[in-house]
Chains A and B, each alone.
Chain A
Amino acid sequence: AQTVTQSQPEMSVQEAETVTLSCTYDTSESDYYLFWYKQPPSRQMILVIRQEAYKQQNATENRFSVNFQKAAKSFSLKISDSQLGDAAMYFCAYLENYGGSQGNLIFGKGTKLSVKP
């Protein structure tokens, strides 16, 4: 079965600095999607960034970017110029793509990010 591992239960970053959250996954498939979701104290899940496995280029959304290493099955999230509003739980998630019919989202256990002013 596919698994997603986030090895950092908690991380801390100074405001305006850069932080990287780690995620590894286990799969024998070649076509899939990877996601980072943010869950602030309100507990609303918000999609931060998406990566398609067949695309070699790393996804970027404003201050958020990923380092996708397919061979190593690694998918880290980099947050640049950290802001107080970035403080949240961050979840890495994996979704298989069965040629247009997809499996279900599999989530890691999350990393709690604190931002210090």
Chain B
Amino acid sequence: DGGITQSPKYLFRKEGQNVTLSCEQNLNHDAMYWYRQDPGQGLRLIYYSQIVNDFQKGDIAEGYSVSREKKESFPLTVTSAQKNPTAFYLCASSLSHSYNEQFFGPGTRLTVL
């Protein structure tokens, strides 16, 4: 089955630790995205990548980093510089950045203790 997988579903970390969230897609999509969702808020774009080895900052990139070494993978690292990292993180992909429909993964709930 084609789709987007995110792991783990729930993640707990101590304050001050970096943590990496996984996102994998087998849809052969060029573009991938990371969003953050907080209670009572819509989704906000953290980073996006239009093609392998290229990525762009979104609206709230501070305290986050990404890499895109493979077409199917777009991991997100939440660094200790992110002041309020507890949130729900959603990964998405689209055929290309010029194609309008984005498909979403099931999300990862990150809790920093």
Contacts and interface: CB of A to CB of B under 8 A. Distances in A.
Contacts, number: 50
Contact of B100 (A44, A95, A107): A95
B112 interface: no
Given A43-B88, A43-B106, A43-B107, A102 B100 contact: yes
Interface stretch (B15-23, B37-45, B61-69, B71-79): B37-45
A47 B33 CA distance: 16
Contacts of A105: 33, 43, 45, 102
Most chain B beta carbons < 10 A, residue from A47, A101, A102: A102
> How many interface residues does chain B have, given as a range?
20 to 34
Interface in A1-41: 4, 9, 33
Nearest to B108: A43
A91 B42 contact: yes
B110 interface: no
Given A100-B98, A104-B58, A109-B40, A44 B45 contact: no
A40 B59 CA distance: 25
Size bracket, chain A contacts: 20 to 34
A44 to B, nearest CB: 5
A93 B90 CA distance: 15
Interface string A83-117: 00000000101010100111011011110000000
A62 interface: no
A78 interface: no
B94 to A, nearest CB: 9
Interface of B: 33, 40-45, 48, 58-59, 88, 90, 92, 97-98, 100-107
Given A104-B59, A105-B45, A108-B42, 10 more contacts: A33-B100, A43-B107, A47-B101, A47-B102, A50-B101, A91-B43, A97-B100, A105-B33, A107-B42, A109-B42
